[in-house]
Amino acid sequence: MDIVTGVGASERVAIYTLPDHQKAARYILSQRNKQGLIWRTATGTSDWGIIGWRNVIKNYRLLGATTEVNAERYAALRTMAQMARVLGEHEVSAEFAEHAGTLKGFRWVLLT
């Protein structure tokens, strides 16, 4: 921690990178479908047909709103909200906390 400013190294990095984090979080939000989820399609199989990081299965296709991708999105939005709150950016924090809360409250049902 800097003796003069009282700001630690982590806070300095957060202050410097906040605009980039906001830009990335807003991009994530722009990728939602009408149900509010990250939903992807694939025409390939194996390496080119699986959304997420599951084991690649030969001739297999996994697409849609996978749990792992949307769980990572939730974590990214919560982290963005927490970072903004710590830096005193309360409006930004509330915005991203609301987006994360909407996703957390989503009822995982079969979407057709």
In total, how many domains does the chain have? Answer: 1
Is residue 95 in a domain? yes
One-letter amino acid of 43 = T
Can you tell me the distance from the alpha carbon of 93 to that of 80, in angstroms, rounded to the nearest whole number? Answer: 7
- For residue 57, being part of any structural domain is answered with no
Quick check: is 55 in a domain? no
When mean pLDDT is compared over 2-11, 23-32, 42-51, 100-109, the highest value belongs to: 23-32
Is the model's pLDDT at 1 over the cut of 80? no
- pLDDT tens, residue by residue, 8-24: 667 777 777 889 999 99
Domain that holds residue 96: 9-38+66-104
**pTM to 2 decimal places:** 0.76
pLDDT digits (tens, 9 = 90+) for 49-105: 777 776 677 887 777 888 888 889 999 999 999 999 988 999 999 999 999 998 877
Does residue 76 lie within any of the structural domains?
yes
pLDDT of residue 4: 44
Q: State the Cα–Cα distance between residues 28 and 8, nearest whole angstrom.
A: 29
Residue 97 lies in a domain: yes
**Banded pLDDT at 30 (limits 50, 70, 90):** very high
